[in-house]
A and B are shown apart, each in its own frame.
Chain A
Amino acid sequence: MHRRILAGDRLIAAFLTGCALFNYPLLSLFDRPTEVFDMPVLYAYIFAAWALVIALMAWAVERPFK
């Protein structure tokens, strides 16, 4: 029971994190014509944030709680 509540809370946190990262205005901070790691900064940012949110979700549901 406890586990489920915690997993749920973590997923909601991941959801809210994603909502913030994937939308205006955070998105606009990276909307500029420069490059990082040989790719447009916006493109790099979205994929990095995306991977982060997925990692958060995996952590939320798969990692056993102590």
Chain B
Amino acid sequence: MSKKILIADDEQNIVISIEFLLRREGFEVLIAGDGEEALAKVRAEKPDLVLLDVMMPKMNGFDVCQAMRADPELSATRILMLTAKGRDTEVSKGLGLGADGYMTKPFSTKELLAEVRKLLEM
């Protein structure tokens, strides 16, 4: 059974590129365009991993991360934060809120895949 990954980002082109990449590697891909949609899909679909953009409309990535970690049912879901703001404070804030990994935009597709696989223990 293939692993299920949710991409949460409001940048259409980034979603397109990551979606293409992950599908090519055989993952099942879900998409959310804002924070609220992302949280709803996480609860509904229980993906194995969420690629979570920080700067999103309606609910930012930190808030989504915090809400997920507060929900025991979602404890198995891995979270990989993606952000264009690469400052140390942002990184530590994400990790502090319970994210499992952190990548700074722009990232290399190979590194992203490696990180995804690591988090999914593949």
The answer to whether A and B touch in the complex, with CB atoms under 8 Å apart, is no
